[in-house]
Structure 1
């Protein structure tokens, strides 16, 4: 059965189309803000999850924070004894000790900065992939991360001077023998994309700490055995006091996801502010509609129209404004969200996954609800007018 009150609402929106459209723009902006930011946060989490899953079989072991009394100093690191205990507790799994530091370097006339890792050349290919060139053949050979190579134009055969530019000291030089495949964010504690990889002998001869490692990675053969391996290492090395920290992809993913979730929630809260502004605009439009149609309301009430029917007529109008804003906002969210995700993350591979795209209908639904809520008071006010006073209004 045709609802005449819905037709009256459509007529009101059509007669005041420009005003209604301008009011709906606020809803469009709110829907776009919530949907786009929600999709951006979700895509970030999905990409991080996939990147970390690439090193899901790696346990990362680092020295615990040193507790020192005032005026005392100590070197931090995993010593030979602890390394042997880790190897013993790890069983048949691969154990890779790693030296790590941050350094400045010069290639040609260009200065750069990155991480430098020292490790056994035989261990490198166990978890890193070389895209160009060869592994470490000579003592002064080095592997370069893909990001450093791209940004600084480093090629196979390029020579890098390691350390600060100091004329009184001859800086050591390494020759680039290979360029590593891009890895992105990983859970194994090795940021290879911005790194220089050298042999452990070369590293310790120039940076020291020959028997003190900054990190030890354990690559397990069976991912399901990670908890057991971690427990065995902890019991073996931390038996008296905690001297090492043990983490894996799942713990890192949990921490990163929690951080990204907090950021996403904060961004969504900012986007929701635009919906509050839109709600005020819709409320204003609805109040104007009520004031302009006082005599019409008086006639409807005087001929026996129920108060609920009058309320429904104005709620219909608010609902129509919400639908208009939500539909346009949903379409714009797909276009703008896709562009934002591509620009901020560099990949839209996860954009159309259910976890991401769900923000569009959710944003549209929120937009419609905000409009209907904004129309509640104007609808109530219209339905509670005195018919005689309404008919006298000019």
Structure 2
């Protein structure tokens, strides 16, 4: 029997019998398949079928295969949040300590997002050498060091030190073409040559969504109806910020009396912050995807009242239908578009992610057919390594002079050749991620 105490909602939970190993392999499989899909669509050449590329034009009303990769990452981040809190609190962590961990992890994701967004702009080193070195340094700098004393720990400590020092040097020498920009909380700057936050990059947007949902989950606890309600609030935040902003009609509300100046000041503050964070998207509709994942993750906790396979199938099926219906309802406002992070795109992407997880759960965790997923599960358990490994492989192959021979499929005019080559690249990246994990390289923020 297992006893779990919830430091958020109060007294210990009623004991229930649970197996010693409760890891749900389908979560790693979904994360691994998303990694595989990410590498595949990012590697595709122009001749690949259009439905595999991001939708064109970018403002079009619709979504393609490539347009579901990013939201699936956000969804899986959400699935992991309640599971991570459960492990942390069972080990004696405090709410204050978890808040600190959330802030530090968010800062790391923002930093990595900005580095990734600016990596192709460096003007010093030839070709893509700066990016190649920076991504290698990132993997080493954030690598996990074994706890057991010995040669392996010493080696990884040394590699981590090399990564930290190397990344600091690379950041110090980074220079891009001068550009007029505006720095967060500073203002306009002319001729800026260092990194800038034109946007926060993929990892940065994940960081903002993670911050929003993790703090909300700490506040709301395990109440699934509250978590579900917050999805609606986050969608409404997106709609409000994209249709006039919060408090857009204060001038009509003289009846607020002495509260009016306070609300006007708050409105100005929100508008200023929105210039740098993107409250409607990063902490609004994108965070809603992560919260949808968090809601699914809540039924995978050890203390969940939705524990039996048939209960999880019923719950998830109902959840998918609800997300699809909500997506239909919000389509009236902005349609379906990834770049605009429209509510329908967010809700339907979350519905697809939940449906795919349900299929994987039935195959892997219920039926026990795990062997086939061995290729993607290591990448799912070590996603940041896989995320940076693809550009590292491309950069290393190009630097070796073998780019034309090994990457020639990308320029082929035959769609079958392009698709087959990119799929092979995705398999190689997942396999290398698993190999590096076996050697001990794991990245944790």
TM-score w.r.t. the length of structure 2 is: 0.21
Q: In proportion to residue count, which structure has more strand?
A: 1
Instruction: Find the structure with the greater CA-based Rg.
Output: 1
